[in-house]
Amino acid sequence: MSVDQGTVHRIAHLARIAVDDNEVEHLQREINAILSFVEALGAIDVEGVEPMTSVLPMLLRMRPDEVTDGFIAEDVVANAPEREDHFFVVPKVVE
């Protein structure tokens, strides 16, 4: 896969990055190099390789899954323009 200069401009626009015309050729080469590397990764045989989330085997620390309000409900709604109990009051938007 190869990226042309128009695609570089489009990527820059989507990323909200200002790119001068004299930078486009350099960015085009960079993007094409990245895409070539990704294509090369696709050629690697990973049959039988287990997926992993870390390079080191480790156990995640677990905590009890307890539902609480954080004991700060009054602080959360303190600056609300309108509230009822510990809830925000908002205008109805769906009929």
Tell me: the pLDDT tens digits for 58-79? Answer: 888 898 998 887 888 888 899 8
What is the pLDDT confidence band of residue 1, given thresholds at 50, 70 and 90?
confident
Answer whether 0.85 is exceeded by the pTM: no
What fold, for 5-41?
Histone, subunit A (1.10.20)
Q: H or E segment at 84? A: strand 83-84
CA 5, CA 42: separation in Å to the nearest integer? 25
C-alpha 86/C-alpha 67 separation (Å) is 16
Q: Which residue has the tokens 């049959």?
A: 47
Q: Domain ranges for the chain, please list them.
A: 5-41
